[in-house]
Amino acid sequence: MKILVPVKRVVDYNVKIRVKADQTGVDIANVKMSMNPFDEIAVEEAVRLKEKGVATEIVAVSAGTTASAETLRTALAMGADRGILIETDVELQPLAVAKLLKAIVAKETPGLIIMGKQAIDDDMNATGQMLAALLGWPQGTFASKITLSEGRIAVTREVDGGLETVDLALPAVVTADLRLNEPRYASLPNIMKARKKPIETLTPAALGVDVTPRLTVLKVEEPGKRKAGAKVASVAELVAKLRTEAKVI
């Protein structure tokens, strides 16, 4: 079975985000970039399935600028077999990415798609669901455990009331949550091997997909600073502050 794993290049989660002076977006100039953490989990799960003999090939795909090839190399170093880069300078939104991935699915015909539940830059949490809808495939979101059997996949997912397990027919789309696994670090030998693994470069036009943005960002601003806390001497004083200052009771 072939597994397709979409990966995204985002600002590293350890970096403090800075908003541009004109409030048009986030400043990424000279900022460390890395693979989206949820996508790392997706790659790790695909690699584990291959190590178990369930998967025969792992194809990592990324859409974005030329620099996204670095993210693909990371996926290849973790264990993916080959990569596909959909190169474009257009700011990609979830629907556009879902349409690009649909075109890749038609080209590659994978048996399973594992992807991060969301990207930490825009927190959209929409691409996986949109892709499943476009393909007409079943979906298992927020996966904390997956189990494959003959032609089916059981996805344990986190919901408000606890855990829910859904049984899906393959092919299917699964989005990975934090508790699915802990991604491995790529070893130096695997990093060297990744340099020789193939990356195919395509364009949205070659795939017949219009990636024109449909959403407009009006303004980006930092969250307001929280006020300092204060100690109270008694319950009566606490109640008074909640009533007169916070006005929550």
Task: Give me the CATH number covering residue 118.
Answer: 3.40.50.620
Q: How many CB atoms lie within 10 A of CB 27?
A: 14
Instruction: For residues 240 and 30, give the distance between their C-alpha atoms in angstroms, rounded to a whole number.
Output: 49
Task: Quote the pTM value.
Answer: 0.86
Q: Give residue for tokens 């476009």.
A: 134
Q: Does residue 249 form part of some domain?
A: no
pLDDT band at 86 (very low <50, low <70, confident <90, very high): very high
Whether 95 shows a pLDDT value over 90: the answer reads: yes
74 near 41, Cβ under 8 Å?
no
Whether a cis peptide bond, with omega within 30° of 0, leads into 213 is: no
Instruction: For residues 83 and 61, give the distance between their C-alpha atoms in angstroms, rounded to a whole number.
Output: 6
Q: What is the pLDDT of residues 119-157, one digit of tens each?
A: 999 899 999 999 999 999 999 999 999 999 989 999 999
Q: Does residue 172 form part of some domain?
A: yes
Residue 153: left if φ>0, alpha if ψ -120 to 50, beta else—which one?
beta
Percentage of the chain beyond pLDDT 70 is 100
Q: Does residue 120 form part of some domain?
A: yes
Q: Does residue 57 form part of some domain?
A: yes
DSSP string, 13-24: TTSPP-B-TTSS
76 near 200, Cβ under 8 Å?
no
Q: Does residue 122 form part of some domain?
A: yes
Q: How many CB atoms lie within 10 A of CB 181?
A: 18
pLDDT at 227: 80
The vertex-162 CA angle with 158 and 167, nearest 5°, equals 55
Domain of 207 in residue numbering reads as: 2-244
Whether 160 shows a pLDDT value over 90: the answer reads: no
Q: Does residue 20 form part of some domain?
A: yes
Encoded amino acid at 102, one letter: K
CB burial readout 63-91, b (16+ within 10 A) else e: bbeeebbebbbbbbbbbbbbbbbbbbeee
Q: Does residue 123 form part of some domain?
A: yes
Question: How many separate domains does the chain show?
Answer: 1
Q: Does residue 24 form part of some domain?
A: yes
The whole-number average pLDDT for the span 88-98 is: 94
The lowest-confidence range among 15-29, 34-48, 201-215 is: 15-29
